[in-house]
Each structure stands twice: as C-alpha cells, then as structure tokens.
Chains A and B, each alone.
Chain A
Amino acid sequence: MHRSKGEEEDYWNSSQFKAFTFDDDEDDFTKLRESRLAVNSIKLTDDDEDDVEKVNWSGEPVGSISWLVGETSALSNQKTDFPKVSSESSLNKSGSGLSLSALFRGKSSRGSYPNFSDSVSEPSSRLFAPELRRPRADYKDFVGDLSPEEMVQRLQQGKSVGMERFRSLQDKMLLLDFAVNGNDGNAITAVLIFLKRTLSKEVLFRELESRQTALRHFIHFLTETHEQRLLLDLLRALGRVEDAALLQYKEHLAISDENKKRDFLKSCISLPFSLEDAALVQDHFTLLERQIIIEAADSQAEKSGKVEVFQNFPRKASILNMPMITTLYYCVYYHYCEPEGTYSSPSNLRQTFKISDKQFFVTCLSALSKLRSWTDVDSLFQSRSWLGFSRKKSPLSFSRVVDVLHKNSAPTHVLAQYVALVEDSELRLSLAQKHKCHDIVINTFRDLKDRQMLVQYQTKVDPGSNEDCKIKDLLNNSIRWKN
C-alpha cells in the first residue's frame, strides 16, 4: 500500500474528482510504525486479523445527476478509475529492523528513479482486446536502474528482469517486501527464487520467519519442486516441528515395498508429532507389521490347500496396506475362532488398536453375515442379565442391524428375528413389509386390531400358504376389530 501512496496523492490532488476520498485516510507510515511496534513487542499478530480498515468510499452521492451522466455518457475513450482498497500488507509486520529503514530509503529515493510506467507505457492501438498484447521483454535496456518498486511492477507484468543488482540484504528484503505488498504470487515467488540462489539458507530462513506471506510462497515452491531436504530444514529452523514430522511421514506414500515401508514407518514413530498423532503413527506401523505377518501366513495356508475356509472363500486381494477396519473384517472372516494370543485373532486386534465396542460389533456383524454363519451372528447379541435369562442386545439400532443383514442377503427367517426386535412399531411394520416377514406384519395388524389392513395384506401372501391360513383364522376369530 505504501508503494503507490505518492502516486495516489499526486493523482487525487490533480484530479478533478477530488470529492472521492477515503474517510480514514490515515498516514500509512504511522500505521506501519505502530504495527511494527506491536509486532516487536508481542510477536503474535495474526496475519490477517489486523486488517480492519474499512473502505468507506464516499463519492458524489450515488444517484445524483452528475453520477447518472457519468454512468450514461457513452464515450469510446472513457476511462474508469477505481479507488484503492487496502489489502493486507506484509510491510507493516516485517519482523527485522532492517527492512523498515530500507523502506524509508526506498521512499526517499523514489524521486531519483525514472517513472518507468510512464516512459514505456505501450501505446494501445487495439480498442478492446488488451489480452492480445503479448507480454514481451522488449525493454531490457531500461532494467539496469530500476527501483525495487518498479522492478516488482515489471515482474507483475510478467516481464523478465535481472535482479542481480540487488546485492545488499537490505535491497533484497526491500524487493521482497514490495513483491509481497503487490499481492502477486508469481512475482513473490520470482523474488524468492532469486533470494534462494543468492542468500545462505540461514539468512533466508531468518528473514522469512517474520514474513508469513513470503514464507508460505516459499514453502509451496519447495513442495512443488520436491526439495524435501531444504523444506525440512526450513520447517525445523522455524520451530514448526510437527509440520516437519508430517512432511517426513508423507514420504511413506512413495514407498511401494511393504517391508521398506514398515521400516520407514517405524523410523517415523520417534518424530516430534503431537501426542495424539504420535499414537496414530505408531498404530499405522503396528498395523502394517501385522498385515505383513498375516499375509505371509495366510497365503501359505491358502497354497497348502489344507485350510477349509480359504478353499470355500478364496481370498480376493492381499490385506497389505488396507485400512484397520478392513483388516479386522478380514480377520473376522478368516480367523474368527482363533484364540486371543494370535496376531490374526479379531479380539487381539480389538485390544491392540482400542477398537470401540460399536465399531467391533458392526464389523463382526457384516463379516459374519457375509459368511452366512447365522449362529455366530446370533451369539453377537447374547447378553445375560443377573437373573439368568438372556435377551438380545445391540450397540447398533436393530433397524440398522436388519439393514446390514439384508445387504449381505440374509434369508427371511434370519431377518425376521431381528425385525421383531425393532421397538418402534411403525418402523417395524415397514421393515417387515419390505423384507416380507409376514408373521410380524400379521401379528402387528392383529395387535393394532386393524382388520382392513389385514384383509389388504392377505392379497400379498401366497394363497394356501401358512400365512394365508393364519390370516383366515384371525379373520374368523372373534377379535374386537377397530374397523
């Protein structure tokens, strides 16, 4: 925002449209100094939080004659100007004392530079196709004595410039601050590439620490160019150890050999993750380690042809690199009855990875119904109260249970068992109808004393079947029907 301050004033002073002013036309430099002080004293100004100036643009009253004339006067050479909106500036939070003085230097020396944009502004011959104009580096001769400000302007226009002239750290940072202030990421990165080449990383990192916008651009550039080492050094130098740990952990994605990946993950465990993430990385390692063992044993067993379950339900894919829950599903499917001591026993997995009851239940339910071992499914629901009789209990709603069973194409008599346990009578009825659990439907209508519905339902069952007889019996019975 400081960049064009001078120009801005010149323009407005000479302009006939003086009426347009910012209400809060505060001195940028006062503000700069204040925010600098603030930054120096607390060092935790959030990057964006401070941007509270509101643009109160008061012009000629909208709707006045002159406004309307301005609106409607249609001239081919009219030029529309817009007021400036202050966007966030990195200048007012530059951390090192250095660039502030540099800034003033830049300001005072401004007059000595030729006004580049004036001297070389291209004559426009086209009427309305500015984008046909190709960006060309036609004016390289002028580049030698450009001010940082003008340099950045050229960068923004996509013109290549030699930045070698900027040798002192002050000049370099001035250039960077101007680039950041111009908001154009392309120009910012161009300056950063120059700085990366001409500054030692210690110096560069130190300067970037207080320039968050530039820092983000640098990190993104290094990420895209895959300069992993330098990026890790940068993050560590900034004390962003968790980010560095995550970045290192990310490398595992590129490793295809499972043993190498396991070893790599093991080395990740000691990285400075947050407490929570550290446990998860540990789990990741443990899981892959397990999967490798299980995979080896099972493919052996499958080949030997001696284990029945592998013969009946051949494995479709390797378990390596599958999510935890898929692994659990696999182990329920192939190793349900194993004692807790083995690596592949479901209950062992449950303990090792602290799988929640509900999660464990859901996975067992779908794996066992896939296997169609309905007795095992049934036993999942057993619980014994202290009175000794058992009642089916489920951490999952019974309608959801029915859903899971249905998706695994459970037979009607199995479904009926669980539909009957749905508490909400409406839901029970609709599920029973959907899954053709006739008994439940009939009993529900009987309980509701709804003769009409029962008569209607009779059409849906096979004539002469057990259900049909049952309905007939009921209809002949002396129930006090409500209708």
Chain B
Amino acid sequence: MAAAFRRDAPPQPDFSLLKRLARDQLIFLLEQLPGKKDLFIDADLMSPLDRIANVSTLKQHEVDKLYKVEHKAVVSSADQLCFLIRPRIQTVKWICDLVKSDKAVGRVRRYKIIFTPQKFFACEAILEEHGAFGDVSCDQWDFHLLPVDDDIISLELPEFFTDTFLAGDQRWVRTVGSALHLLHSLFGPFSKVYGIGRIAKMVYESFRIQLQTEETRTRGDAQIGNVFIIDRDVDLVTPLCSQVVYEGLVDDIFRIKCGCVEFSPDVTSSEKSVKVMLNSQDKVFNEIRNEHFSNVFGFLSQKARTLQTAYDRRRGMDIKQMKTFVSEELKGLKQEHRLLSLHIGASEAMMKRKTKQDFQEMLRTEHSLLEGFEIRECINFIEEHINRQVSVLESLRLLCLLSLTENGLLPKDLRSLKAQYLQSYGFEHLLTFSSLRTLGLIQEQQTTETLSAVETRVRLTAGRLTEAFSSLAKKSNFRALSRRLNLVPKSEDYDLRVPKDMSYVFSGAYVPLSCRLIEQVLDREGWSGLEEVTRLLNRHEFSVTGSTSGSEGSSGLTSGAGSGLGSTSSPGFGPDSQRRVLVLFLGGCTFSEIAALRFLARERGYRITTVTTAITNSSRLLESLVQNKV
C-alpha cells in the first residue's frame, strides 16, 4: 500500500538558526545595560538558557554573578541588577519588594527586568502599583522557540496549559502567534494551515494579523509548507496514558527536562547520579527512543554483542593495526560503550520500578478503559488503588481516564470515588476535583434527568450564568470518536517489533487521537469527510490556503517539483516543502505522540517537526492541577 509510494523524506530544516537569533537578541539586551551587573534567572529559564548560551557568553557581556530567582532576600552587592524572568506577577512583586528594601536603606542601584518570551501589561501594572515603575526598566526577550532536538521545538511554557484551559486566560495567544510568525518568515512561507481547537483558531488569527500588519519577508524557498495546529484539550486522553515507548517511559520515570535527564544512582550503578543529554546525537538512544519498551532489551543486548566483537578484534592485531585501532575506532567504541551501559542501566531500573507497581495490571486496566470493556472491573481496580493509597497521581490519572473514556462517571460512582479519594489522599483535594471538573477531566455523566435539572436551575437563577456555564469543559465523546476514527485496533496479536500503525506506541491498543487527526487531515488535505468527527470534537476546525503575491518572475529553485507531476497535489508528491509539516501542540505534547508522528512521517515520506508549548506527560499535566499550593 502506502509503502509502495514511499519516498525518502526531505531533510529537516536547520533550526539552529533559532538559537542564534535568541542568543544575539539576549546579547543585544544585555548591552543595553552597560557595566558590571548581577543577573538573576528564573529557575525554569536556566535549562533553556543553557541550550543557547553559556556562562562565558554572559561574562563577556559584563555579567558578574549569576543567581537563581528564589523569592528570598538578595545578598548581591552589585550596583546593577538584571532579572531574566518569565512574566509572572509573583516574581515582579518580589522584585518590587527588593527595590523597596533597597530604598529603605538608601541604596541606589539600577534595575532591569528582561521578560521572556513576552512582557505583560499586568506585570508593569504591578511595578507601577508598588512605586517601582521607573526605578526598574523593562525589556522583552523574544525567546519563543527552543529547538530541543532535530525535530522538536519547545516553547518551554508548561503554564500554557493551566493558564489557557483551566483559567481561560488567553495571554499566550499572541506569544504563540508570534512564534508561528517567526517560523513562517524563517522557514516558510507556509502554504496550508490546518487546525482544530478554540485556541488554535485564535493563534492562527494572531499569526495572520501579524503577517498583515508587520512587514514580513520570507526567504522565498519555502522549507515548510504545511502547518497543523491542535489544542491539547481536543485530546486529553492520550497524555494520560502510561507511556511504553522508550523515550516516553524515560520521561515518565526520570523526567526529561529540556532534552536532558538526570539518571539516579540505581541507573549508573555508582554513587552519584549523572546528567545526560537525550537527543539524536546519542547514537544508542536515537535507535531505541521510538521503540516499544519490549524491544529495547533485545536491541541493547544485540548492540552489546556487536560492541564485544569490535573490541575483540584487537586480539591478534599487530602493533601497527593496534595503533590505527586506537586512534580511529577506540574512542567511538568507548563512547558507545558508555552510552550502552547507561541505557541498559536505565532499562533495568525502569523494569524494576514498574514491576514493583503492578505495571502490567495497570496497563490492562488502561487498555480496558480505552476499549470500553469490563468497566466495572476497572472501577474496582481504581478503587483498590485508592484504598491502598498507591500514588496520588496514578489514582487521579486512572480516574480521569475513566471519566474521559466513559464520557463522565455515573453520579453515584463519582460521589463514592471522590469521597474515597479524599479520605486516602487528603480532603484538600476537594480543590483538585473542582479544577478537574472545570477542565472536563472528571465529570458527571449527563443523563437526560440531570440535564433537565441543570436547565431548571439555570431558569431559576433567571438570566444568571451560573458556574455550570462558566466552565470551558466539553463532553469528550471519546467512545464515539474512537469508533469513527478506529482508534482501538481489533485486538489480535500485534507484533511490536514490526509496528503496522501508530498504535504501537501504546502496545497496539490505541492510536493517539491527536495523531490520528493529523494523519487524516494531511491525507485528505482538509477536513472534508470528517464532519461527524469534528462535530464530536465540538468543532473549531479550519483549513486555509495561503496565497502568494508579489511574483515577478520565478527563480526556478524548486520548479522541478512542479513539472511533470501535473495536477497531483498529494503531499507525498509535491515539492519538498509540501512534505515538511509543522505540528503545533497548544498545551503540550508527549513523547509517545512524537514517536507516533515519527512513525507516520516514515510511512508517508513526510518530515514532521513538532512544535509544542512544552513536553508533557500524565504526571506533569496532573501536578499542574493538584491544588494543594497556596
């Protein structure tokens, strides 16, 4: 089938340009504050900053000491303080306090805040209110996009999810619109933009208006032709599933931060933990990252044998051969050896941890939920989980999956599970449940009876929009979507070594909804034929074609692609740009989804770049909603 037409995907555009631009602008901004200065950096900006600049870059621009923003009193004796922060009110308040306390002791300093990726009016309003406006100068560092790997670009904005979907604050719409605009001018022009979701539409609009109002020049030879924008709340099921591809599993267990992971002593089998960059540069990792975990052991032992043979060749070498071996091969072998033992250690540690937690049983429950099979048993399993006070987040994750896949819980089940959850993990999780309800992660099944009850209640409150309508939550309609899009493949023996569709990322049990939508829309070049699906997803889909103006002759750079192909326009046959696709996740995406998209790209000859507001997984997603913080 598709394999017959498979073409080699075009090479990935070079995104390192983004890093250079960000670094140049940072240097420009630091030069705006000449002289020696101490730099305070928001904790969550440290890793992204590390990826584009290093300490000596900062030192070259007269940064004296570096501090982490810790919301505590400051010990710096510098005359100039510079703050590199996310635009958060809490942090700005802390800076205001600092300015106040300096004033109180008659100390004169210059202060500068560099907000990234954007300066918010609310932050400036806080400065004004606290009388620090003017004392503190503000700037903006448009550091939107951090390439964390060849095919992953992250905005490193985990709060996008809660700000947007929980609080309903659209503060990041413009930011993402600008990011898209930047990508358009560097790697575009885009010719087609598809999308689904409320925010996706807004982001597209923001992008379009920036395109209109700002003089935009593109390089002409489009590198990326197609864009797909998707809201995270279109598919909340996928990020809540246990990840079983290697990279996803590593993220679930050790947490990959900005492309880097810290392996604990049980992995390194030494005293201390080790920080490792995980990307395509790591040759061993690059080969196993997308593999189902069950294949990884076999692969690693195979690799170990090959390595052994390579080492063994030393025997029987004469001096000269040995010399060449040492100078040419040994270093590479040693490097590979180091990586290999690291990933073997990681695999073992993950196996151990997972077997301890009845992982197999957990997966079985998840698969039953996705399939809609033996729901009573699933509920019992979840209940036992709660009763035994197994991890706070795992229980919550299963509850959310249950509610999402079943389109809500029966009122009596919800009442009982919630009460038991609160008894096991603390009554303050009352607040967590309220957030989960707002987001639609845990809901009551709307029987006709309860529906009419809500209606009467609304009528009673006469014109008042009660909280029932203040929620952005939507019905998930998962079961119907699953049927329409064939998300749960017919269960038969699935050979995970030879994946035949994207469902391999969940052991052949489930094709990620998000990725299936992307696949379908790219295949159909639009939403036609998917009307029922978009209805179930509460609409907000779009598909637009850009028009290119200003053509005064053709450079013929890519003309070869156009000729001879006549009227075919299927992405597999168009110019390279048409086969380069940018997928933008608003609210985070998981490594499992990225693996599925890589699979899709391989199958269809696409080159897919994932742009996401942050890399997420079930723990990160739920942690951001657990409301036991003040």
Contacts and interface: CB of A to CB of B under 8 A. Distances in A.
Nearest to A219: B167
Contact of A281 (B124, B167, B388, B430): B430
Given A68-B562, A128-B186, A190-B121, A81 B549 contact: yes
A281 B418 CA distance: 13
Contact of A55 (B21, B182, B190, B542): B542
A83 interface: yes
Interface in B288-325: none
A354 B615 CA distance: 41
Contacts of A160: 121, 124
A75 B553 contact: yes
A483 interface: no
Contact of A87 (B198, B213, B430, B548): B198
Contacts of B347: none
Contact of A240 (B173, B470, B628, B630): B470
Contacts of A289: none
A463 interface: no
Interface string A264-291: 0000000000001100110110010000
B106 interface: no
A326 B525 contact: no
A85 B544 contact: yes
A413 to B, nearest CB: 24
Nearest to B145: A131
Contacts of B97: none
Contact of A183 (B170, B219, B428): B170
A138 interface: no
A117 B169 CA distance: 27
A76 B389 CA distance: 62
Interface string B180-192: 0110111011110
A61 B622 CA distance: 45
A375 B550 CA distance: 89
B163 interface: yes
Interface string A1-20: 00010000000000011001
A80 B422 contact: no
B389 to A, nearest CB: 6
B149 to A, nearest CB: 22
Given A80-B184, A188-B170, A122 B215 contact: yes
B543 interface: yes
Interface stretch (A141-149, A244-252, A310-318, A443-451): A244-252
Given A74-B220, A74-B555, A190-B122, A57 B543 contact: yes
A214 B174 CA distance: 16
Given A59-B545, A131-B182, A220 B430 contact: no
Interface in A73-129: 73-88, 117, 121-124, 127-129
B171 interface: yes
Interface stretch (A45-53, A333-341, A379-387, A471-479): A45-53
Interface in B214-232: 214-222, 225
B48 to A, nearest CB: 15
B446 interface: no
B140 to A, nearest CB: 6
Given A82-B193, A240-B467, A356-B420, A249 B201 contact: no
Contacts of B567: 63-64
A233 interface: no
A253 B630 contact: yes
Interface stretch (B458-466, B494-502, B510-518): B458-466
Interface of A: 4, 16-17, 20, 43-44, 46-49, 51-52, 54-55, 57, 59, 62-64, 67-88, 117, 121-124, 127-132, 134-135, 153, 155-158, 160, 183-190, 193, 209-210, 212-213, 215-217, 219-221, 223-225, 238-240, 242-243, 246, 249-250, 252-254, 276-277, 280-281, 283-284, 287, 321-326, 353, 355-356, 358-359, 362-363, 366, 396, 400, 404
19 contacts: A48-B198, A62-B545, A67-B569, A73-B551, A76-B217, A77-B217, A77-B550, A80-B216, A81-B549, A87-B202, A184-B174, A185-B173, A185-B174, A239-B464, A252-B428, A284-B428, A287-B427, A322-B426, A396-B384
